[in-house]
Amino acid sequence: MTGGQSRLQDKVVLVTGATGGIGTAIAERLASEGAVLVVTDVDGAACSALVADRADSERHLPIALDITREDQWHTAVEAVAAQYGRLDAVVNNGAIGSLGTVVDEDLDRYNRVVEVSQTGTWLGMKHAGAYVERSGGGSIVNICSILGSVGGLGNSFAYAAAKGAVRTMTKNAALHWATKGVRVNSIHPGFIGTAQLLERYEGSERHAAMIAHTPMGRLGTGAEVAAAVAFLAGDDSTFVTGTELYVDGGWTCD
């Protein structure tokens, strides 16, 4: 991770699910734009390692956070308040998925996907987002998915259900905060070529289908999602709220 000064200079930004794939790309981009990071993930050691890897590590705060635990959200927000006295933006990126279909998905797995990917996002808005309001306003960015809007490849039923909820929750929250200085938007990535995805699918029929159904003919990158986050987290988007930004290579317009 490398530092720099830009449009997010000294803004305090909390990122969930920050230690892998898209989350790490988001953290790196925000830091490069000058943000002060609150790096959170259920894996506290990975959070600490991500921060320690920075030359300016003393600026940033790693926090172990299970986003489904309301008590841990209270603790995290208290830690941010003690360290910085404010919070300018929240990026609700933490999520898990499942490939099950409407017929073969397991109930326990379905409930767990919804708990993490939907409820975890709500709790992030409820607690960290509320602290953004108390800090004088700012931005909430919810990482959603194209599967929150379209059928995708006909599987990942639980994930689609959770992300569909995040899509409408974002709009509802945007109306709640519209006159209170907090903007709430969602980003909808298509298929992103993270190390995890490539390790699991590269060379498979599913990998080929992801590319074939993307009009631009390739997978996206974490950096491309992170660039959209940087726009919505900062002051270049001060009249943007309740919107959906698709980073999908044209998937949803095909």
Distance between CA atoms of 159 and 145, rounded to whole angstroms? 9
Q: Reply yes or no on whether 159 is catalytic.
A: yes
Distance between CA atoms of 206 and 250, rounded to whole angstroms? 18
Helix (H) and strand (E) counts in the chain? 10, 7
Name the pairing type of β-strands 244-247 and 61-64.
unpaired
DSSP β-bridge partners for residue 62: 39
Q: Contact at 8 Å (CB) between 12 and 88? A: yes
Q: Which residue has the tokens 């060379």?
A: 203
Strands (E), the chain: 12-15, 36-41, 61-64, 89-92, 138-143, 182-189, 244-247
- 63, 61, 92: which is closest to 75 by C-alpha? 63
Query: In the numeric block, which tokens belong to residue 236?
Result: 């270049």
List the catalytic residue out of 131, 159, 201, 246: 159
* Residues contacting residue 62 through CB under 8 Å, at least 6 positions apart: 39, 40, 44, 47, 48, 50, 51
Query: In the numeric block, which tokens belong to residue 168?
Result: 């409408």
- Residues marked as catalytic: 159
